[in-house]
Structure 1
Amino acid sequence: MAKRRKLGNPLALAVMVTLGQQPMHPYEIAQTLRRQGKDASMKINYGSLYTVVQNLEKHGFVEVTEVERQGNRPERTVYGLTEAGREEMTGWLSDLLAVPVKEFPIFETALSLCGALHPDEVVRLLKERLQNLDVQAASGRAALEKLCESLPRLFLLELEYQLHMVEAQADWVRGLLEEIEKGSLPGVEGWRHFHETGELPPEFT
C-alpha cells in the first residue's frame, strides 16, 4: 500500500525531481519542465508553482540556497533539494511506479451514465470519439517517431504510454460500437426498449 504523503500534488514531485538536477528559481523550474516536455503529462501553472515550492519549503523538502539579483531586476530566490526532499522524492516516485491506484477518468464517468441516452445516440457519439482518437493516435505516433530521432527512449516513456492508452481506448470503443450495432451487447434490447417506450425492463430494476 502506498504511503500517505504530506503533499499530494504531482507537480510537487516534478519540482523535486527538477531540483534534483540542480538548484533553480521557480521560473527556471517552470522553463525546465516545459523544455523537457513534462507539460504533456501534467498541468504546469506558473502561479501555482510558487505555492508548490513554498509548501515544499514548509515541509523541509527544499531550501533556499541563494538569492540572485541582476541589475534592476527583482531578486530571485534559488531553491535546492534537501536530503529529506530527496528521500521523499524517491519514496513517492517508487510508490507511483509500483502501486496501482484507482483513478477516475471522466470518460469512465460518461460510460457509467450513458444508459441515459438512446443507444443510437451513443453509437453516434462514440463514432465521433473514435474519429478523434484515431487522429490523436496518428499525431502521437508521428510526434514520437520524430522525437526518437534526437532523444533516447528513456525520456519519451510517458509519450509512448499516452499513445498506447489512446490506441487501446480506440480498440475498445471500436469493439463496443460493433456490439451495440449488432445487438450482441447484453442488455442492449432492454436499453433500446426503455428509450422507445419509457418502460423500464424488469432486469434493470
Structure 2
Amino acid sequence: MATIDLIVLGMLKDDALSAYDIQKLVEYRNISKWVKISTPSIYKKVIQLEEKGYVKSSIVKEGKMPEKAVYSLTEAGEEEFVRLMSDISSKPVRIFLDFNAVVVNIDKLPAQNRNLCLTQIEENVKSLKAYLEENIDMKENNARIPETGKAVLQQQYILVQTIEIWIASLKENI
C-alpha cells in the first residue's frame, strides 16, 4: 500500500530507524487513527522496501541489547518518497468511514435497533473527540511535535466535530 510506504519512507528521511522504532513513532504520532497501519505491516513493509532497494539495513548492537536492523533511505528511496508524495497528493480525496455501512442500511432495522446503532456511533465519535482533545492539549505546546503533525490532529478534530453535528441531524430525521 502506497500510504504505508510513504509513512515509512518519510520517517526514514529524518533518521535511520529500526522497524520497532518506526512502530513506536506510529503509536506516538497516533498515525493508526487516520491511516490503516498495523505493527506487522510495518515490519513487512521495511523488508519489502529493502527488497525494492528503497532502504538499506545495517545491523547495530547497543550495549547489552540484542542486535537489530536499522534502516535508512537509499537514493532510490529518496526518489520514491518524492514520487509517492506527488502521486498520492494528486489523487482525489476519499474519506472512508466504516460506520457508513451501518448508516446506508439503518432503515432496514426496527426503530429500537436503529436508535441503538446510531447511539453507539455517536458514543464512539464522542470518545474519539475526547481522545483528540486530550492529544491536542498534550501536544500543542510541545516544540518537538512538527506543525504538520499538529495540523493532522486539528483536521481530525474538525472532522469529528462535523460528524457530531451530522449524527445529531440524522438521529432527528430517522
Query: How would you bin the TM-score normalised by the shorter chain?
Result: 0.7 to 0.9
Q: Please, what TM-score do these two structures have when normalized by structure 1?
A: 0.69
Asked if 1:164 is matched to 2:158, the reply is yes
- Of 92, 109, 115 in structure 1, the residue corresponding to residue 107 of structure 2 is 115
Aligned residue pairs: how many? Answer: 171
Change (3 A) 1:17 1:125: same
Residue in structure 2 matched with residue 21 of structure 1 by the alignment:
14
Amino acid at match of 2:173: E
Q: RMSD in angstroms over aligned alpha carbons? A: 2.6
Task: Give the 3 Å change call, closer, same or farther, for CA 68–140 of structure 1 in structure 2.
Answer: closer
* Structure-2 change in CA distance of 1:117 and 1:105 (3 Å): same
Q: Where in structure 1 are there 5+ consecutive unaligned residues?
A: 1-7, 181-205
Q: Hey, what's the Cα distance between the residues in 2 that align with 1:10 and 1:90? A: 13
SS of 2:69's equivalent? strand
Partner Cα separation in structure 1 for residue 12 and residue 131 of structure 2:
32
Distance of aligned partners of 1:97 and 1:160 in 2 relative to their CA distance in 1, 3 Å threshold: farther
Q: Say yes or no: does 1:173 pair with 2:157.
A: no
Q: Which residue of 2 aligns with 1:10?
A: 3
Segments of 5+ residues of structure 2 without an aligned counterpart are none
Matched, 1:99 2:88: no
Identity %: 25
Secondary structure of the residue aligned to 1:60 is coil
In the superposition, relative to structure 1, how do residues 143 and 79 fare at CA in structure 2: closer, same or farther (>3 Å)?
A: closer
Give the 3-state SS of the residue equivalent to 1:150 in structure 2.
coil
Aligned-residue offset at 1:172: 1.0
Task: Note if 1:51 corresponds to 2:77.
Answer: no
SS of residue matched to 2:164: helix
Q: Are residues 1:88 and 2:83 paired?
A: no
